[in-house]
Structure 1
Amino acid sequence: MHMSDSIQSQVSTEEWQLRVNLAAAYRLIALYGWDDLVFTHVSARVPGAEQHFLINPYGMLFEEVTASSLVKVDQQGNKVMDSPYPVNPAGFTIHSAIHAAREDAHCVMHTHSLNGVAVSAQTEGLLPISQQSTLVLAALGYHDYEGIALNEDEKPRLVANLADNTFLMLRNHGLITVGNTPADAFLAMYIFEASCMIQVKALAGNRALTPIAEDIVDGVKEAARVVTKGMFGDLAWPGLLRKLDRQNPGYDQ
């Protein structure tokens, strides 16, 4: 019996589907080059068990993550289901704070992408210079760097800086997105990372930039709702899974 058969038989249909989508999100992060070897995390709340979460096995490359290898942990990052894989409780600090504070944050995605870290180090943060950036700026918070995220007392400040936003820029550190599903969090991160990449390239051109008017940025939330028809991540997710099936199959094992 494959390990995937064993794990699938121990969890609900809803949890297994979440595992498949979360594993896909990990592999897509690797496919798009946003991973940082084995570091950073994407976590997801387990359906029907609000205090349990799925997270990556510590030491496994994002491109290797499978549905069955994801580890189920509690709010403190302790394993609540037998698994041969280790976890990094310290790495769950950021995620546990957001999950606890935001009922709608079923999935929390954190990256150390090079473009994201580069912009997070720039004093002005994300600039309104692209259509992608306007989508982020409509729901963006900033959190100052306090060192490697190990301290429990940082959690209230991080949560306050995220507030009810979808995007959070960790100064000198990286990017966070939250979503109802891995698909939503991934699409948000795709837009966030694209905004940062465009900014890095634009600033490298050493020319004056044309900012987007503030009133246009202010109207983006409603425009985005119309364009995505309330589906957001689900619009792109089936195509992204087909892409994975072609380029890195096996995430659903």
Structure 2
Amino acid sequence: MTATPSTSMQERVSPEEWRLRVDLAACYRLVALHGWSDLVFTHISARVPGDDHHFLINPYGLMFEEITASNLLKIDAHSNKVLDSPYPVNPAGFVIHSAVHQARADAQCVLHTHTRCGIAVSAQKSGLLPLSQQATFILGSLAYHDYEGVAMHEAEKPRLQADLGHANHLILRNHGLLTVGRTVADAFLSMYVLEAACQIQIAAQAGGELANVSAEIVRDVAESVRVQTGGLGGAFVWPALLRKLDRIDPGYRN
């Protein structure tokens, strides 16, 4: 199995879908660049514009740094391929993603990771603590889902949906992290901050006595986040991230 298809998908899909493919492929490359990938074992999905309930997801077996706009798989809600592709799909890998997409019409993108620090925090009874500015950005929209074994069973989906609710960040106990976003950029930025908060927490716990941020500051932080990004969310930083990728790893656009 080779990572690059012989032909581009650009002529086979709408301009809107192609833009989404480029953004999602970029997200995979950025996750790899930041060291958040787990070989081939996690996924980032995106809902294709339109009423068909189709989704883009990575071909199972490719490393994240091999993902391109053209080799992304287009599947339906049951993990069936919508467009022909030589690459395999992992139906079990879409269980978590399909649960979120079904429950959250606002979630165009669902990003799931198995990072060491993310799993370490997910294994702590106290979960994410208000130890950093990054953590305060997360705590106002954070939920938890208890571990039920490898997420392969449809029966788990209603419980996961109920636990996520309207939150944009989910800590999967003993498993990893998940973020949702109205765009790929929003989901990536949310994961960037959540992962940073987890890394900071694990590092801080290895040191001396901890100092929590006050509950009052945590309550008021949402407005500060909006001001910091000019109300643009992930769109504020996304163009700069794409410029960085274009300098060092432009193959995602193929």
Structure 1 letter corresponding to 2:214: A
Return the alpha-carbon distance in structure 2 between the equivalents of residues 21 and 4 of structure 1.
Answer: 21
Map of 1:194 onto structure 2? 196
The question of whether the paired residues in 2 share the 8 Å contact of 1:90 and 1:150 is answered with yes
* Corresponding residue number in structure 1 for 2:68: 66
| Contact kept in structure 2, 1:4 and 1:67, CA below 8 Å | no
Q: In structure 1, what is the equivalent of residue 211 of structure 2?
A: 210
The 2-side partners of 1:88 and 1:252 are apart by 23
* Aligned amino acid, residue 219 of structure 1: D
- The 2-side partners of 1:197 and 1:120 are apart by 12
What does residue 103 of structure 1 align with?
A: 105
CA distance in 2, matches of 1:66, 1:27: 9
Looking at structure 1, the residues matched to 217 and 178 of structure 2 have their Cα atoms a distance apart, in angstroms, of: 24
Task: Report the 3-state secondary structure (helix = DSSP H, G, I; strand = E; otherwise coil) of the residue aligned with 1:178.
Answer: strand
What TM-score, normalized by structure 1, do the two folds share? 0.97
Tell me how far 1:93 sits from its aligned partner: 0.1
Return the alpha-carbon distance in structure 2 between the equivalents of residues 4 and 84 of structure 1.
10
- Other-structure match for 1:32: 34
1:129-152 Cα shifts (integer Å, max 9, x gaps): 100000110100000000000111
Report how far residue 49 of structure 1 moved. Answer: 3.8
**1:118-129 to 2 correspondence within 5 Å?**
118-129=120-131
C-alpha distance in 2, partners of 1:5/1:186?
28
- Name the SS of the counterpart of 2:9 in structure 1: helix
Task: List per-residue Cα deviations over 1:144-189 (Å, max 9, x = no partner).
Answer: 0000001111101111111101100000000000001111100000
Paired position in structure 2 for 1:234: 235
Structure 2 counterpart of 1:146, from 134, 145, 148: 148
Asked whether the equivalents of residues 4 and 68 of structure 1 are also in contact (C-alpha less than 8 Å), the reply is no
Structure 1 Cα separation of the partners of residues 192 and 210 of structure 2 = 23
Q: How many residues align?
A: 251
Cα-Cα RMSD: 1.2
1-side partners of 2:64 and 2:247: how far apart? 17
State the 1:226 CA deviation. Answer: 2.1
Q: Deviations over 1:51-73 (max 9, x none)?
A: 10000000000011000000000
**2-side partners of 1:182 and 1:79: how far apart?**
21
Paired residue for 1:251? Answer: 252
- Gap regions ≥5 residues in structure 1: none
Distance in 2 (CA, whole Å) between partners of 1:122 and 1:26 is 28
Check the 8 A contact 2:230/2:236 in 1, yes or no: no
Question: CA shift at 1:3, angstroms?
Answer: 4.6
The CA deviation at 1:244 is 1.1
Identity %, equivalent residues: 63
Is the contact made by 1:35 and 1:113 (CA closer than 8 Å) also made in structure 2?
Answer: yes
Structure 1: distance between partners of 2:189 and 2:111: 11
Aligned partners of 1:4, 1:237: CA distance in 2, in Å? 29
- Alpha-carbon separation, structure 2, partners of 1:100 and 1:182: 17
TM-score by length of 2: 0.96
Aligned to 2:220: 219
Q: How far 1:6 moved relative to its partner? A: 3.8
Maintained 8 Å contact 1:166/1:177: yes
